[in-house]
A and B are shown apart, each in its own frame.
Chain A
Amino acid sequence: QVQLVESGGGVVQPGRSLRLSCAASGFTFSTYGIHWVRQAPGKGLEWVAFIWYDGNTKSYADSMKGRFTISRDNSKNTLYLQMHSLRVEDTATYYCTRDPGRKPTVQYCFDYWGQGTLVTVSS
């Protein structure tokens, strides 16, 4: 069955960097686009970034652009989110979630979700 497992979260000081990973299994990873979505404690969901199946096209929410980089290694079935210059307001649970469209299409939604990894930015 489809599984997405996030890792890499933890406590980090403001201004530091952190890299999250999302290990995928149960489907042909290289044929699906994948998103990062985050949720601050007690708050709503916020879309972070999307990467197409081949990694050649990426998009970001304005508030994350320039600080966050989404990438993927299709040989390892793994998605990444490199976060720099972290701020207290980046504290959130970060989810990876799949777009159900198989290459070359995108379905503009999310189907399977991981359980999330918590990032806490605090001094």
Chain B
Amino acid sequence: QTVVTQEPSFSVSPGGTVTLTCGLSSGSVSTGYYPSWYQQTPGQAPRTLIYDTNIRSSGVPDRFSGSILGNKAALTITGAQADDESDYYCVLYMGSGIWVFGGGTKVTVL
């Protein structure tokens, strides 16, 4: 079974830039997987950040951007702020009505 991979953790300085990636254990991520990204803080429901590779959800600051980098989907936070400290999840559409989440990346801002 295909596994969706994400870095377990990342640390970024306030004002810095960090790029999280979302890959496949076998193969490359393309726009046809409709990658999307979600932010979650402890005890809260997820919040939608990016869908369809690079479209920001309503109300999401433009410091969050999505793209395809090489063979992975990517979420870039430019000018990180303290309240960006969260868990970030990507999800890929695998076809045939199946979606798979990555394991999540814990981002620390310090």
Interface residues, chain A, with chain B CB atoms under 8 Å away: 35, 37, 44-47, 50, 57-59, 61-62, 95, 97, 100, 107-116
Q: A44-B103, A45-B89 are in contact. List 4 more A-B contacts (CB 8 A).
A: A45-B91, A59-B96, A97-B46, A108-B99
A108 touches B101 (CB 8 A): no
Q: Which of A47, A50, A62, A111 contacts B57 (CB 8 A)?
A: A111
Measured CA separation A100–B46 after assembly (Å): 15
Query: Interface residue tally of chain B, by bracket?
Result: 20 to 34
By a CB distance below 8 angstroms, the chain B residues around A109 are 34, 36, 48, 51-52, 91, 93
What is the CB-to-nearest-CB distance from B95 to chain A, in angstroms, rounded to a whole number? Answer: 10
What is the CB-to-nearest-CB distance from B53 to chain A, in angstroms, rounded to a whole number? Answer: 10
Measured CA separation A120–B92 after assembly (Å): 28
- Which of B45, B101, B103 has the most chain A CB atoms closer than 10 A to its own CB? B45
- Which of B1, B34, B40, B91 has the most chain A CB atoms closer than 10 A to its own CB? B91
Interface residues of B in 51-104 (CB under 8 A from A): 51-52, 57, 87, 89, 91, 93, 96-104
A-B contacts, 18 listed (Cβ < 8 Å): A35-B99, A45-B40, A45-B46, A47-B91, A47-B100, A50-B99, A62-B1, A97-B46, A107-B52, A108-B51, A108-B93, A109-B34, A109-B48, A109-B52, A110-B38, A113-B46, A113-B47, A114-B45
